[in-house]
A and B are shown apart, each in its own frame.
Chain A
Amino acid sequence: MVISLNYLLKINKKILFVLIIITILLITLTLVSQSILFNISQTENYTYSSNSNYDISKPKFSINNKKNSISITANKGNFINKNEIILEDNVEFTSKNFKISTSNVYFNQKNQTAKSLVNSQFESNKTLIKSEGFDITENGNIIKFNGKTKLIILE
């Protein structure tokens, strides 16, 4: 017992202090990096564009409800404010039941709503809808096709 205590007393106090500090730093760094990575996986649906014409390229979002999920993709996106984004160029809403294609959509991330004021095409099994725009509300449960609308059903 006396021998082991003596052994401890032989260790340089400065080295011990440095070792403790390094250990604390390593633990802190690990925790912080894990937290950052977690946050990135929650929000990184797009990459910020280096092009000055638009904010984000190839944005990807989703509207979720109890039954299914609608995936939203586009070539370009521009932030109007924190929650609202204009999606442009080859905008597509895809779920397991349907696909909507258009060129311009206002998407609200917070409310999970989408609105288009330009010609849009809805395709589903044996069903085709062409309209002058659309609104998606109630987490995708209600889709309203606006303006002069044509619906074709294959019997």
Chain B
Amino acid sequence: MIKLIKILILVNLVNFSSIAREKGQIEITANQGVEVFQVEKYYYLKEKVNILSDNFELNADEVKAFFDKDLYDIYEIQASGNSTLYSQEGIYAFGEKIFFNLKNETIIVNGKNSKLQFNDLNMFSNNLIDVDNLQQTFNLQGELSILQNNEIKIIASSIKGKFINNNKINEIEELFIKDQKKLNIITKTSSMFALKANYNKLNNTIELHENVLIIRDQETIEGEYALINIANESYKIKSKENKKVKIILNTSSNE
């Protein structure tokens, strides 16, 4: 009896391995089958879906894969439920939903605890992470969204930006940050708070707007607008007409 079971298992394994993926092919497996919608032009794959190609691997509970001219011409993958994506381009994404367009090179990660690591850039959100690799832009939406690399950590409900890929390192070129309550920018030397902020790599400056608070070493600065030069860490700060700039020097810890 055990011998018979072993033979049956072996026959089953041989049967499925007989069409193993070769280089240049995409292999898709699903435990609960594949539905092919020929008019609507998509595959619907269910349970423990794995998509493996030379360039990427995607795992999810369910996947819709849209094709264009023919069944082989897959251009968009919509994964849902514990979705993960690894790519040779240095991308690791995790979320409730991942939409991955192979032609436009866009990745959208949706849901709570969404994460997208793109080379040295780390993005976290509880709502939306959207990266366009061709346009070299990104967009994070949702409370306490985080953008982080070795130099900077940004926490806000809206973080939009542009990047440039330089030898597998994504350098941030521009940032547009907003938060209705308080955004936070943390560098190696400072922690900054405001309602709006912009970063420009060309000028190497950070602009902070409204309810500005900068905490650096032993000083705390409050105002309505600040322009910070990152290179020499100098800053200009302004207040509203009826208010004054407030600087608190904390020297108690040295005494």
Name A's B-contacting residues (CB within 8 A): 67, 97-98, 119, 124-131, 140-155
Contacts and interface: CB of A to CB of B under 8 A. Distances in A.
Contacts of B21: 152
B72 A148 contact: no
Interface of B: 15-16, 18-19, 21, 24-39, 43, 45, 53-54, 70-72, 74
A142 B28 contact: no
20 contacts: A67-B39, A124-B70, A125-B72, A126-B70, A127-B70, A129-B34, A130-B18, A141-B37, A142-B35, A143-B36, A144-B34, A145-B33, A147-B32, A148-B31, A150-B29, A151-B27, A152-B19, A152-B26, A152-B28, A155-B53
Contacts of B35: 142-145
Contact of B29 (A97, A124, A128, A148): A148
A124 B34 CA distance: 15
A79 to B, nearest CB: 29
Contacts of B26: 152-153, 155
B46 to A, nearest CB: 9
Contact of B15 (A119, A129, A151, A153): A119
A143 B35 CA distance: 6
A138 B201 CA distance: 57
A40 B109 CA distance: 60
B54 to A, nearest CB: 8
A151 B28 contact: yes
B34 A149 contact: yes
Chain A: interface secondary structure? strand
- Give the 5 A-B CB pairs with smallest separation, nearest first: A126-B72, A151-B28, A153-B26, A127-B71, A144-B35
A141 B74 CA distance: 18
Contacts of A131: 33-34
B71 A149 contact: no
Contacts of B54: 155
A72 B249 CA distance: 86
Contacts of A144: 33-36
Contacts of A149: 29-30, 33-34, 45
Nearest to A154: B25
B74 A153 contact: yes
Contacts of B74: 153
A145 B34 contact: yes
A127 B21 CA distance: 12
A28 B211 CA distance: 102
Contacts of A151: 27-30, 34, 43, 45
Given A141-B39, A142-B38, A125 B33 contact: no
A130 B33 CA distance: 10
A67 B38 CA distance: 10
A85 to B, nearest CB: 24
Nearest to B31: A148
B33 A146 contact: yes
B31 A152 contact: no
A98 B74 CA distance: 17
Nearest to B51: A151
Contact of B33 (A124, A128, A147, A152): A147
A150 B28 contact: yes
B129 to A, nearest CB: 27
Contacts of A146: 32-33
Given A130-B16, A130-B19, A148-B16, A154 B72 contact: yes
A3 to B, nearest CB: 78
A87 B38 CA distance: 24
Contacts of B33: 131, 144-147, 149
A45 B45 CA distance: 35
